[in-house]
């Protein structure tokens, strides 16, 4: 499987990683229901987070699908372009911090948070529930991205050309 034009390698799963992440997501089912079905997190923000996370995980399939969903949710072409370029000027502070939080948690593979100045800024802009919701959306999307990337990588593995860093 070819990597993205940015050179980013799609993140894939091993079976133990998948089992652990699915367990983590299942434990969050009530919160996920509130986010998706009850609208606890606005749909446009949710889709912006999902697109940002799909980019971190180099999942072109999910990025494409959720870019369309973001447009349907009212996210503008200009905002999507700004999201691709990570241009904070296109977003209000709260949205920008939510997107940044999702990206950073994804890049850190959801490791425990180290309290620092950026966490203080985040806490001032987003309440604890919103921060948790943003992370929950990022976790679910990471699982979906990595499953899609793993399935897309299987033909390459069968041809003897596995994705770098996969097992």
Residue 1, domain member (yes or no)? no
- Taking only the tens place, the pLDDT of each residue in 93-107 is 999 999 999 999 999
Spell out the SS3 assignment of 110-158: CCCCCCCHHHHHHHHHCCHHHHHHHHHHHHHHHHHHHHHHHHHHHHHHH
Range of the domain at 76: 15-158
Residue 59: predicted pLDDT = 95
Q: How far is CA 74 from CA 24, 85, 113, 161, in A?
A: 30, 19, 32, 40
The percentage of residues in the chain with a pLDDT greater than 70, rounded to a whole number, is: 93
pLDDT value at 142 more than 90:
yes
Residue 104, domain member (yes or no)? yes
Count how many domains the chain has: 1
Residue 97, domain member (yes or no)? yes
CATH number, residue 115: 1.20.1290.10
Residue 70, domain member (yes or no)? yes
């Amino acid at each position: 499987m070819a990597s993205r034009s940015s050179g980013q390698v799609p993140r894939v799963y091993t079976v133990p990683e998948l089992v652990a992440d699915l367990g983590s997501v299942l434990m969050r089912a009530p919160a996920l229901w509130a986010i998706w079905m009850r609208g606890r997190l606005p749909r446009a923000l949710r889709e912006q987070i999902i697109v940002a996370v799909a980019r971190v995980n180099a999942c072109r399939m999910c990025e494409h699908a959720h870019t369309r969903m973001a447009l349907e949710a009212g996210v503008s072409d200009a905002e999507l372009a700004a999201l691709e370029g990570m241009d904070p000027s296109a977003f209000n502070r709260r949205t920008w911090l939510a997107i940044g939080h999702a990206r950073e948690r994804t890049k850190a593979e959801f490791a425990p948070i180290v309290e620092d100045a950026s966490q203080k800024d985040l806490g001032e802009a987003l309440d604890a529930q919103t921060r948790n919701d943003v992370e929950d959306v990022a976790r679910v999307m990471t699982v979906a991205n990595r499953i899609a990337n793993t399935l897309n990588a299987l033909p390459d593995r069968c041809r003897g050309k596995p994705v770098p860093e996969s097992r």
